[in-house]
Amino acid sequence: MISPDLPITKSTEDTLNRGSFAKSLAKTISQYSFSSSFTIGLYGEWGSGKTSLVNMVLESVEDIDKNAVIVRFNPWLCSDPKQLITQFFKQMATAIKLKKPSAEKAWKLIDQYADIFDAASLIPGAGPIVAAVGKVLAKRANKRVEQRSKNLQESKDQIINKMIEENLKIIVSIDDIDRLSEEEIISVFQLVKALADFPNTVYILAFDYDVVVHALSKVQHGDGKEYLEKIIQVPFEIPAPNLANIHDAFFSKLNSILGDIPEERWAKTIWAELFQFGLQKYIKSIRDVIRYTNVFLLKYELLKDETDPVDLLGLTSLQVFEPSVYSKLPSYKDTLCGSNYDYSYERQKADEEKVKQAISLLMPNDGTIANWEAANNILGILFPRMKTATGLSYSIGRNYSKRDFFINNNIAVPECFDRYFALALENDAIPTTAIKRLIYESNENELNEGIIQLYEEGKIIRLLEEKEAYANREHSVVIPTERASLIITALTRNWSSFEVDDRGFFSIPFVWRLRFCVDPLLKAMDLISRFSCIRSVFEDKNVQPSTLALLLQDFETQLGRFTEHASSRDDAIFSLEEVLELEAIFKSRAVDAIDSGAALRQHQGLNFLWLLGQIDADFVANKKKLLVSDDVSLVKVVSYCTSRGTMAAKMVEKTRNVNRETIGEFIDVNEAYRRIKGFSVTSQFFSLPKDDQMNAIAFILITERTPSVPIMENCIAEDAIVKALNQLEKESVNE
One-character DSSP codes across 441-458: T--HHHHHHHHHHHHHTT
CA distance 59 to 259: 33
Host H or E run for residue 305: none
Q: Judge whether residue 442 has pLDDT over 90.
A: yes
If you ran DSSP here, which 8-state letter would residue 400 be given? -
Query: For residue range 258-298, what is the model confidence (pLDDT) as tens digits?
Result: 987 888 889 999 999 999 999 999 998 888 888 899 899 98
What's the pLDDT at 130? 42
Q: DSSP assignment of 489-545, as one string? A: HHHHHHGGG------STTPPPTTHHHHHHHHHHHHTS-HHHHHHHHHHHHH-TTS-H
CA distance 31 to 53: 19
By the 8 A CB rule, do 77 and 87 touch? yes
Query: For residue range 86-103, what is the model confidence (pLDDT) as tens digits?
Result: 888 999 999 999 988 888
Q: Judge whether residue 229 has pLDDT over 70.
A: yes
* pLDDT confidence band for 124 (50 / 70 / 90): very low
Query: For residue range 529-586, what is the model confidence (pLDDT) as tens digits?
Result: 999 999 999 999 999 999 999 999 999 999 999 887 778 888 899 999 999 999 999 9
By the 8 A CB rule, do 547 and 604 touch? no
CA distance 155 to 163: 12
Q: Judge whether residue 322 has pLDDT over 50.
A: yes
Query: For residue range 503-543, what is the model confidence (pLDDT) as tens digits?
Result: 765 568 888 999 999 999 999 899 999 999 999 999 999 99
Query: For residue range 20-60, what is the model confidence (pLDDT) as tens digits?
Result: 788 888 888 888 777 788 898 988 877 677 888 888 889 99
Per the model's pLDDT, the better-predicted residue between 162 and 138 turns out to be 162
Residue 333 makes CB contacts below 8 A (sequence gap 6+) with 414, 417, 418
Q: DSSP assignment of 71-100, as one string? A: EEE-GGGSSSHHHHHHHHHHHHHHHHHHH-
Host H or E run for residue 654: strand 652-658
Q: Judge whether residue 113 has pLDDT over 70.
A: yes
CA distance 676 to 655: 20
Average pLDDT over the chain, rounded to an integer: 85
* pLDDT confidence band for 151 (50 / 70 / 90): low
CA distance 675 to 672: 5
What's the pLDDT at 134? 44
What's the pLDDT at 131? 41
C-alpha to C-alpha distances, 417 to 312, 410, 423, nearest whole angstrom: 11, 7, 10
What's the pLDDT at 482? 93
* pLDDT confidence band for 13 (50 / 70 / 90): low
What's the pLDDT at 714? 84
Torsions phi, psi for 608 (to 5 deg): -90, -5
By the 8 A CB rule, do 160 and 197 touch? no
CA distance 548 to 456: 23
Break the chain down into helix, strand, coil percent, rounded to 5: 60, 5, 30
If you ran DSSP here, which 8-state letter would residue 239 be given? P
Q: What is the mean pLDDT of residues 635-652?
A: 79
What's the pLDDT at 321? 94
What's the pLDDT at 222? 64
pTM of the predicted protein model: 0.65
Q: Judge whether residue 631 has pLDDT over 90.
A: yes
CA distance 374 to 382: 12
Query: For residue range 462-493, what is the model confidence (pLDDT) as tens digits?
Result: 899 888 888 887 655 678 999 999 999 999 99
Query: Amino acid letter at 155?
Result: S
Residue 57 makes CB contacts below 8 A (sequence gap 6+) with 22, 25, 26, 29, 173, 204
What's the pLDDT at 195? 82
Q: DSSP assignment of 582-628, as one string? A: HHHHHHHHHHHHHHHSHHHHSTTTTTTHHHHHHH-HHHHHHHHHHTT
- Kindly list the strands in the beta sheet with 170-174, ordered across the sheet, starting from the edge strand earlier in the chain: 69-73, 170-174, 201-207, 38-43, 234-237
- Sign for the pseudo-dihedral over CA of 114, 119, 123, 127: negative
